[in-house]
Structure 1
Amino acid sequence: MSDREQDPGEKQRIPVTGRFYILPDDLHEDFIRASGPGGQNVNKVSTAVQLRFDLDGNTTLPEDVKTRAAALAGSRLTQGGEIVLQADRFRTRERNREDALNRLLELLRKAFEKPKPRKATRPTLASKKRRLDTKKKRGAVKKMRGRGAAID
């Protein structure tokens, strides 16, 4: 069986990475009127897509990926645990649907990248010396300000 052919009992899957996928049941699309290109048509036809992905309700993604995806989503994450993406760059519904889905998949793929752990390092002797020299110069400049020149 090829990738395109599906077993009738198996739900359609949307691949994210090699082993991981999301289900269409986790996605909800609403069509709204766009503010972008479209001329007079923009006032008549709802071509913009508002894609909602139920991140909390998803069962196919690992928990650590969900946590990173929530952080990457930022203000696009609702209190209900949904990622909301709006696509209105194109004039047609189909292209806006593809755009919204591609942006969601890109965000999820980015969430699969594990952050590189930071290794604690100590400041070098030279950097400590530079910092103290800068502080001394800054202090001398500030000391010269004021009513009378303060002489030590």
Structure 2
Amino acid sequence: MIQVTNSIALDEAELQESFIRASGPGGQNVNKVETAVQLRFDVRNSPSLPDFVKEKLERLAGRRVTNDGVLVITAQRFRSQDRNREDALARLVELIRQATERPKPRRPTRPTLASKKRRLEAKGRRSEIKKGRSGKPGFD
């Protein structure tokens, strides 16, 4: 079991790993060893996640989620397969943690009396400046 939060834990059976050849650094190794990891996690059919987490996870993941609701994370930052596996798993766990956070409710506020007065005074000053630009010849 992979512990995500206090209440959410993923079963390793829900994850599918496949290995592909990575682009980028690696020297001769990059042409013959499959070091990149593709981690697949079926978000929609996961029994480990509550419904609100599933919905938010799909929104957060964006293009990484297929039409079938499978989240695909590709990790190829490191030269070794083990480190890429750890990286992909860490990214999945972090994404699920972000999806569990509920937004803080907004409490409506009202402007203070002093801020209203400051705003009106600034508008008056600006109005006087613009009136002075009218170009009418007059007495000073």
> Is TM > 0.5 for Structure 1 vs Structure 2?
yes
Residue 134 of structure 1: CA displacement?
5.6
- Determine which of 88, 93, 105 is the counterpart of 1:100: 88
- Answer yes or no: is the 8 Å Cα contact 1:47–1:88 preserved in 2: yes
Structure 1: give runs of 5+ residues left out of the alignment: 1-12
**SS of corresponding position for 1:50:** strand
Tell me the amino acid that sits aligned with residue 104 of structure 1. Answer: L
Q: Distance in 2 between matches of 1:114 and 1:35?
A: 37
Match of 1:137 in 2: 126
For these two proteins, the number of residue pairs brought into alignment is 135
TM-score when normalising by structure 1: 0.72
Summarize the Cα distance change of 1:78–1:130 in structure 2 as closer, same or farther, 3 Å threshold.
farther
- Determine which of 104, 109, 112 is the counterpart of 1:116: 104
Tell me the amino acid that sits aligned with residue 33 of structure 1. Answer: R
Q: Distance in 1 between matches of 2:114 and 2:13?
A: 59
Structure 2: give runs of 5+ residues left out of the alignment: none
Identity %: 55
Q: Please say which structure displays the higher CA radius of gyration.
A: 2
- Answer yes or no: is the 8 Å Cα contact 1:26–1:57 preserved in 2: no
TM-score when normalising by structure 2: 0.78
CA RMSD in angstroms comes to 2.7
